Structure 1
Amino acid sequence: MPLQRDAAAARTNILGTSHSPHNVPAWDGSRERGDLDHAVNSLRRSHPELSAGEAAWRWQKWTLALLPPACLAAALIALDQLIFALAALLVLPFFCVVALRTAALWHTAFGSKSHTAEQDIETHPVELPRYTLLVPLYDEAGIVRDLVSALSAIDYPAERLQILLILEETDTATRRAVTETPLPDHVSIVVVPDGKPRTKPRALNYALRRATGDLVVVYDAEDVPEPDQLRRASRLIAASPHLGCVQARLNVLNAEENWLTRQFAIEYTVLFDCLLPTLQRLALPVPLGGTSNHFPRAVLEEVGGWDPFNVTEDADLGIRLARSGSTVKVLTSTTWEEAPATFRTWLKQRTRWLKGWMQTYLVHMRNPVRTARDLGWLQFFGLQVLMGGVILSALVHPWFYAVMAAELAFGPLSAPHHHTLSDAVKVIGLTNLVLGYVSGVALGCVAVAGRGRQRLAISALLMPVYWLLVSLAAYRALFQLAFTPYIWEKTQHRPRAAFTTTNRPSA
């Protein structure tokens, strides 16, 4: 699976045309076609069981197809017994989600903050490796200048830095904006030929063949990474031989813009400042965020790069790294982004994320025994809790309200002959629900307080309302998974001058 190539020759191919405008490489038709085929089909050919090119295997399709009519038939025959069975099945996964949040709350509120993984190696300087920044852009003409400004602020020697702006052949507006923007000499343009699926991971795979860095990082077009992030990530990778990725923390610039951005900011802070570091401490699989992932290029190539058919290629890659025996560490450096400020934009983004998590879960559960063997049983259990729990909770959450409303309107839905077991399941289920709310809200408050954003804590009380919107996106994702699994709903971004940025507290 690893790609063997001459790094010097690759550098000549990419950067040897620096005399031409914006370092655009000369056209090489045969190479372009070969790289495009590799970008789309390499993983599917070498490891078809790890590719979402086939949305689900036959037994999964039959299970998903038969489950709804089976539940409907059971509801018509014995609704009370169906409710009892479902409640009993959901007790354990929901309890585990609550337990994970509680562990994250404990580590965040009471864990030692005086020592981090990076501090172990900060006193051991190493030679700075060559770094390649992969920056995919699609329909981002309005923020090209902001992007160039953010990349120019990175504190890393230009002679050891390769920045590839990855553009789609059909995106003429962004290509025009890039050509009209002055670029540093170490910035090059990669134009991805048109093809299907038109996804971010396809573009990343295409550009990876042109990378010359020992380390590779992915940034999105709207990202503002802290200037020393590359230096800190490279030190951490150099000190950790089994490290497959360093994930920087993500947070949002426009947290105070409206209710939706406040909820998004709380959610992001909880995920990247609390949950992912807890997964790291517990040695559980870490699903990556879509940006600020720092990889040793050799490791990235060995696991097959990104899956072009998975619309959350980051989470999938995190699981594949875990299956290969590589670890992921969270870096206490922040990359700042724009939170979606309108419901339409938010819904499209969240639908894509949840659809990708569903794709990822289906891929890695095609052969559960093999996945468990690759991960080990503890990490396999963690996969069920995290990925399975997130998907399940998003789909099931609104039904708690539906059942409660029905019971208030029509009386108890269970049969008149109660027994101790059914009462116990009901009590445990309600306890899980309450603890889920309490732990989620408490973790949100502690997380934003750690960022110096105490004003956001009051908004954490409305997180259950936000979770209902997540459930709407989950059902939309489920529909798309069935009918349009590879459609990529683009998140629209605005120039930073178009919205008021908040003060950026320290990480």
Structure 2
Amino acid sequence: MRQGLADRAAQSTALPIEIGFLSSHGHAPEVLWQAAVFAQAAGVGADEFLIREGMVSEDEFYRALAVELGLPFVVAPRLPSDVRYPDSVLAGLAPLATARLKFVAAPRGHALVDLLKTRSRRRLLAITTPTRLREAVFRAQSPLIARRAAHDLADKAPHLATDISYGQIAVLFVALTLIVFGLGFAPELSTGIMGILLGPLFLSMIILRIATASLHNPIELNHHTHRIEDADLPVYTIIAALYREKRVVARFLEALSRLDYPASKLDIKLMLEADDRETLEALRSIDVPGNIDILIAPPGEPRTKPRALNVALPLARGRYTVIYDAEDVPDPGQLRLAVSRFAEAPPRVACLQARLTIDNTDDTWLTRLFTVEYAALFDVFNPGLAEIGSPIALGGTSNHFRTAVLRKVHGWDAWNVTEDADLGIRLARLGYEVKDLPSSTLEEAPGTLRLWMRQRTRWMKGYVQTAASHTRRPWVLLRQLGLWRFSGALALTWGAVFSALVYPLFTALYVGSWLVGPEHFPDMRWTAAFNAYALTLFLSGAASVLIPACVALHRRKLWRLLPWILLLPLYYGLVSVAAWRGLWELAIAPFRWNKTSHGLARTSRAGLFQKHQARVEVTKSLNTAPP
């Protein structure tokens, strides 16, 4: 008995000071000593390890700390309106708006050690948890946080921010109207003008697509990268903007739990909107891990994903930051691979784009075509662009950033509804590069035409915003990018927009010019030259769609989808409809965010959705079974 007590006392004295006090508050020294050993192996503070690994709840830890120090524990700190943001949250210290106590602290790491060593009570200090302190700062500085999230880019770099006037929209509509009328009343002249103006743009896109298909970019690395020890891994921030995601939030947290990365070094931030009660209720019904912070964005405009991301960015503690969507299932080794790639890359590489692939491929004909499209984009086109050094229009998720660079470029444009594409072009303008990350993230594609059209309308509207914003001073863009990267940026922005808008019209003209014969175009001169030009552009355009798709399906081993590429002309016809809808929406609701619904998938190539659903059903049956 005495020997056992002596052993416990010896272990207690050997404990790190930041957790040793817990042995006097009901926590077994053996467990604390074990946590200290694991914390040292992971290269984190013992207090961070205990809380983030879920061994001790945050509330329990800081209440015990308050008792140990003989200081009051404050449940809802009242802070003055001039409290510093985000400094107070990151430092874990803020002034109080009370006469009796001056400061409230939620110390961790070195600050916690210093406080336990000095044990000074003369500071008139109170203790709270980091979560309660952050919520108090958000209450006190809600208008400031909302303004920064929405306007920081425009305030600090207005030449890079989305700025589309109604005059620009009107000019675009007038130009498109003139094209339509011109084709109807003066087809020879109109077609010639469009061929001169748009032909080089379309040819640039065609060349880029075919060239990237010829490059070797496998889905996974053939060689194993050196595995970095846990102690040498940096803290990694994960930000996910959630809105009405109650159907998938549990599966998303499960996917994050499978990441091959120390939980104590994951800084996960889930961004919610103030009116999203259903997602918050779903999270409250889950045992949320200690490394997850649930943040509520202050009310404000615009109600967009990039605004929510901007709220979280100032609080990111990681050296690197990755963005995930609520339905994402990233490869477990993705973060480790990203750390290795960043370590090997020069500092100008600011972002790594992981490969997005569709999981619910077999839901409908639309999800099959979506799978083909995503395979061509993320397994062929984007990796190829990265290899040749071209600007890249980022995907909306699985972007891994150097956090310092992301802050330096002022985060995301809250007013652009394709913030990913905009950020990719902005990084290139500021001298940074985006590289490929050969690691997959499973995504859910919309399975119905209505949901697909809403999503694609937003994308096309955002591409117009991005194209117009970054080319309003084309000579500046040319000077920043150089000639060939400037051409690539035009192809990725205006090329994507105009090719979608005129696709049905040009296809009909090109096909019609060969089917009906020259006698039906009596006013057209140079008929042979026109037909040759039309045939060249048509066939090369078709090749630029089909070749990357075939290469991508080969790399993904999805040969069973090869027959579906015959429907790609129909699919891109739907993209054209979405582009025209996007233009209309740009005029009537330029910043409206068409939310994509998730959790509706019926199939899963990886089987993950069915496995999760099975676990949910088993849990429900156990909870409802009679005792």
Same fold judged by TM-score > 0.5?
A: yes
**1 or 2 for the larger relative contact order (CA 8 Å, sep ≥6)?**
1
Supply the distance in 2 between the matched residues of 1:466 and 1:306 (Cα, whole angstroms): 30
1:176 partnered with 2:258: no
- The residue correspondences of 1:243-258 to structure 2 (distance < 5 A) are 243-258=349-364
1:42 partnered with 2:174: no
**Residue-by-residue CA offset, 1:54-90 (whole Å, 9 max, x unaligned):** 32485x4463254245446645763321122223333
Q: What is aligned with 1:90?
A: 198
Q: What is aligned with 2:189?
A: 81
- The residue correspondences of 1:59-208 to structure 2 (distance < 5 A) are 60-61=168-169, 63-71=171-179, 74=182, 78-107=186-215, 111=216, 122=226, 127-208=232-313
1:485 partnered with 2:590: yes
Deviation at 1:8, TM superposition (A): 4.8
Residues 182 and 283 of structure 1: CA distance in aligned 2, closer, same or farther (over 3 Å): same
Asked whether the 8 Å contact 1:121–1:236 carries over to 2, the reply is no
Deviation at 1:444, TM superposition (A): 0.9
1:500 partnered with 2:607: no
1:51 partnered with 2:161: yes
Supply the distance in 2 between the matched residues of 1:136 and 1:411 (Cα, whole angstroms): 56
Asked whether the 8 Å contact 1:56–1:363 carries over to 2, the reply is no
Q: What is aligned with 2:561?
A: 456
Supply the distance in 2 between the matched residues of 1:10 and 1:325 (Cα, whole angstroms): 35
1:236 maps to which of 299, 321, 341:
341
Residues 464 and 77 of structure 1: CA distance in aligned 2, closer, same or farther (over 3 Å): closer
Supply the distance in 2 between the matched residues of 1:33 and 1:312 (Cα, whole angstroms): 25
Residues 10 and 45 of structure 1: CA distance in aligned 2, closer, same or farther (over 3 Å): farther
Asked whether the 8 Å contact 1:10–1:210 carries over to 2, the reply is no
Q: What is aligned with 2:619?
A: none
Supply the distance in 1 between the matched residues of 2:318 and 2:184 (Cα, whole angstroms): 61
2:232 counterpart SS class: coil
Q: What is aligned with 1:431?
A: 536
Asked whether the 8 Å contact 1:141–1:173 carries over to 2, the reply is yes
Residues 70 and 259 of structure 1: CA distance in aligned 2, closer, same or farther (over 3 Å): closer
1:358 counterpart SS class: helix
Asked whether the 8 Å contact 2:356–2:440 carries over to 1, the reply is yes
Asked whether the 8 Å contact 1:130–1:214 carries over to 2, the reply is yes
Supply the distance in 2 between the matched residues of 1:490 and 1:50 (Cα, whole angstroms): 25
Asked whether the 8 Å contact 2:145–2:298 carries over to 1, the reply is no
- Report which of the two structures shows the higher radius of gyration computed on alpha carbons: 2
Supply the distance in 2 between the matched residues of 1:10 and 1:231 (Cα, whole angstroms): 29
Supply the distance in 2 between the matched residues of 1:76 and 1:274 (Cα, whole angstroms): 38
Residues 433 and 158 of structure 1: CA distance in aligned 2, closer, same or farther (over 3 Å): same
- The residue correspondences of 1:1-16 to structure 2 (distance < 5 A) are 5=87, 8-9=90-91
With normalisation by structure 1, the TM-score equals 0.89
Q: What is aligned with 1:315?
A: 421
- The residue correspondences of 1:307-386 to structure 2 (distance < 5 A) are 307-386=413-492
What letter corresponds to residue 423 of structure 2 in structure 1? L
Q: What is aligned with 1:416?
A: 523
1:25 counterpart SS class: helix
Deviation at 1:282, TM superposition (A): 1.4
My pick for the range that moved more, 90-99 or 323-332, is 90-99
Residues 394 and 414 of structure 1: CA distance in aligned 2, closer, same or farther (over 3 Å): same
Supply the distance in 1 between the matched residues of 2:259 and 2:544 (Cα, whole angstroms): 37
Structure 2: state its 5+ residue gaps: 1-84, 94-104, 109-126, 609-627
My pick for the range that moved more, 446-455 or 217-226, is 446-455
Supply the distance in 2 between the matched residues of 1:25 and 1:14 (Cα, whole angstroms): 15
Supply the distance in 2 between the matched residues of 1:373 and 1:119 (Cα, whole angstroms): 39
**Residue-by-residue CA offset, 1:360-394 (whole Å, 9 max, x unaligned):** 01010010011111112221111112222211111
Supply the distance in 2 between the matched residues of 1:377 and 1:57 (Cα, whole angstroms): 30
Supply the distance in 1 between the matched residues of 2:148 and 2:499 (Cα, whole angstroms): 37
Supply the distance in 2 between the matched residues of 1:14 and 1:239 (Cα, whole angstroms): 34
Once the two structures are aligned, what percentage of the paired residues are identical? 39
Residues 145 and 461 of structure 1: CA distance in aligned 2, closer, same or farther (over 3 Å): same
Residues 257 and 97 of structure 1: CA distance in aligned 2, closer, same or farther (over 3 Å): same
Asked whether the 8 Å contact 2:166–2:587 carries over to 1, the reply is no
Q: What is aligned with 1:279?
A: 385
Asked whether the 8 Å contact 1:248–1:332 carries over to 2, the reply is yes
Supply the distance in 1 between the matched residues of 2:546 and 2:528 (Cα, whole angstroms): 27
- The residue correspondences of 1:290-301 to structure 2 (distance < 5 A) are 290-301=396-407
Deviation at 1:162, TM superposition (A): 0.8
Supply the distance in 2 between the matched residues of 1:76 and 1:461 (Cα, whole angstroms): 30
1:311 counterpart SS class: coil
Residues 256 and 72 of structure 1: CA distance in aligned 2, closer, same or farther (over 3 Å): closer
1:209 counterpart SS class: helix
What letter corresponds to residue 437 of structure 1 in structure 2? A
Q: What is aligned with 1:444?
A: 549
Asked whether the 8 Å contact 1:248–1:334 carries over to 2, the reply is yes
Q: CA RMSD in A?
A: 2.9
Asked whether the 8 Å contact 2:210–2:547 carries over to 1, the reply is no
Deviation at 1:49, TM superposition (A): 2.2
Deviation at 1:123, TM superposition (A): 6.9
Q: What is aligned with 1:261?
A: 367
**Residue-by-residue CA offset, 1:79-116 (whole Å, 9 max, x unaligned):** 32112222333322222222122112211xxx375996
1:397 maps to which of 503, 523, 537:
503
Residues 443 and 417 of structure 1: CA distance in aligned 2, closer, same or farther (over 3 Å): closer
Residues 98 and 114 of structure 1: CA distance in aligned 2, closer, same or farther (over 3 Å): closer
Deviation at 1:35, TM superposition (A): 1.4
**Residue-by-residue CA offset, 1:330-385 (whole Å, 9 max, x unaligned):** 10000101111110110011111111111101010010011111112221111112
